[in-house]
Amino acid sequence: MIFSLLSFQLFAQDNSSLNGAWHSQNSKQESVLLFQDGYFTQTVYTGKEFLLSYGGPYEVNGKQIDILIEFNSKDKEEVGTQLKSDYSLNDNELSLHLKGGKSVWTRLDSSAAPLVGVWQITDRVQDGNLVAIQRSGTRKTLKILTGTRFQWFAIDPATKLFAGTGGGTYTFIDGKYTESIEFFSRDNTRVGAKLTFDGKLENGKWHHRGLSSKGDKIYEVWGRIPSL
């Protein structure tokens, strides 16, 4: 089972020192870890094929990292459980010491960019008006941005629902936010696409306007979640 082999391929040091994206690759699979402001994800894919993604809040305790799984695309029964792993961090190399052996990850970026953070959608335009999103229950859509990479995911930890995820690399230059999609759980034909949006930071909110991957007009406002 993919998850049982890879879910215990994780993790590392003091929350802030881990912030950023990390990469590992073998002949068949590519894997990316995101650590940002106390939240973690791991995603595995090969070519255009999405294989799995999972994640949740994490804490560092001494030489160990503890992760509470909030979502898992492969095995919903993992939701609510904890993963624990020893680690070591040396410059831009992260070593994870696990029961199955040692895995080594290379840093892709840090968190030196205006949009880094864990974001939650707060408002969207409907019928020409900006409307606050009314939340009920525990379902949520989050978006993690490190220095160069992004990932969004729609989940409900209480019901163990995984509704979808997508991610890849991004740039934010002169008010233009551009995503290059590397994985998409709902539709792998979107892999390789580039989406450009008008973006701005205003009063701590991220305003995001353009066309979705389906070509629909969107205007969303996202709020940064405080470090967990």
In the prediction, which pLDDT does 161 show?
Answer: 96
In the prediction, which pLDDT does 3 show?
Answer: 44
Instruction: Tell me the domains of the chain and their CATH numbers.
Output: 2-108 (2.40.128.280), 117-225 (2.40.128.490)
* pLDDT in 10s for each residue of the chain, 228 residues: 444 434 444 443 456 788 999 999 887 899 999 999 999 999 999 999 999 999 999 999 888 889 999 999 999 999 999 988 888 898 899 987 755 567 899 999 988 899 999 999 999 988 888 899 887 788 999 999 999 999 999 999 999 999 999 999 999 999 999 999 999 999 999 999 999 999 999 999 999 999 887 788 899 999 999 865
In the prediction, which pLDDT does 212 show?
Answer: 80
Region of 48 on the Ramachandran plot (φ > 0 left; ψ -120 to 50 alpha; else beta): alpha
Report in angstroms the alpha-carbon separations of 196 from 133, 140, 167, 213: 23, 24, 14, 10
- Rounded CA gap, 207 and 105, in Å? 33
In the prediction, which pLDDT does 8 show?
Answer: 40
In the prediction, which pLDDT does 13 show?
Answer: 43
Cβ partners under 8 Å of residue 131, min gap 6: 123, 124, 125
- Rounded CA gap, 166 and 182, in Å? 8
In the prediction, which pLDDT does 205 show?
Answer: 93
- Rounded CA gap, 58 and 85, in Å? 11
In the prediction, which pLDDT does 4 show?
Answer: 42
**Residue 16: which H helix or E strand, with range?**
helix 15-18
Cβ partners under 8 Å of residue 53, min gap 6: 41, 42, 43, 44, 71, 72, 73, 151, 153, 165, 183, 185
Task: Please give the structure tokens belonging to residue 1.
Answer: 């089972």
- Rounded CA gap, 88 and 103, in Å? 11
CA 83 to chain centre: 17
- Rounded CA gap, 34 and 22, in Å? 6
Q: For the chain, give the number of residues.
A: 228
- Rounded CA gap, 62 and 116, in Å? 25
Q: Do 143 and 159 meet the contact criterion of CB atoms below 8 Å apart?
A: no
Q: Do 142 and 225 meet the contact criterion of CB atoms below 8 Å apart?
A: yes
In the prediction, which pLDDT does 128 show?
Answer: 83
Report in angstroms the alpha-carbon separations of 188 from 50, 70, 106: 7, 24, 26
